[in-house]
Amino acid sequence: MDFLNTAFTFPTVVYSTLLLIVLLFWLISLAGFADPDMLDGDADIEVEGGADGGSLWQMGFGGVPLTVSISLIVALSWVVSFYAQKLFAYLLGDGVMFYLTGGAFMLGSLFVALPLAAAAVRPLRGVFDSQQTSSKDALVGLECVIATGKVTATFGQARVSHEGSEQLVEVRCDEENTFTQGDKALLIEHNTTTHSYTIVTNPW
């Protein structure tokens, strides 16, 4: 009960909520309904454009999917916040001070977790570099089923079965109105910049 009381009271409850969202995402991803690389396309564009989105890469989080980096940050922030609240709860005070001090605990936990998460990412880079290249290329040439109402040069998703599991992938097509939901297509190329596949009508 002491564990639950700490985990689900302010300020740790904020990170507990985020951690539950992260766990839900990975469960959905394991079921094949979400792609761990789903955030990387937009992030790459922001980095190339010099926007604030590149800050995570500058802090040492490059080389792994953005979802992995965020998951590590949330998980470690939760751990730091949990133990900080457990050990220093007497500092929280009452009333307005409770929320002000709790907010400081939250920010402090995040700042402590960031370098720890960056350190945890480093040994994972080589694994993800090799796995992502092989897994993405392995889907090229496979048949997929369109999951969205349309596929354009900037929008579209499809489901593809590979090694006994179904994955939801981003797909693109230069010609609009070629595909609708339920149509079958062929993955012919993987674009590493947009993390999407070019599709064409299945010739057979």
Report residue 26 as tokens: 């990975």
What proportions of the chain, in percent to the nearest 5, are helix, strand and coil?
55, 15, 25
Which candidate, 73, 175, 61, places its Cα nearest to that of 125?
Answer: 61
pTM of the model: 0.59
Judge contact between 185 and 201, C-beta under 8 A: yes
Average pLDDT over residues 135-148: 84
Superfamily of domain 140-201: Nucleic acid-binding proteins (2.40.50.140)
Domain ranges of the chain: 2-127, 140-201
For the segment 80-106, what is each residue's pLDDT rounded down to a tens digit? 999 999 888 888 888 888 889 999 999
For the segment 173-195, what is each residue's pLDDT rounded down to a tens digit? 987 668 888 999 999 988 877 77
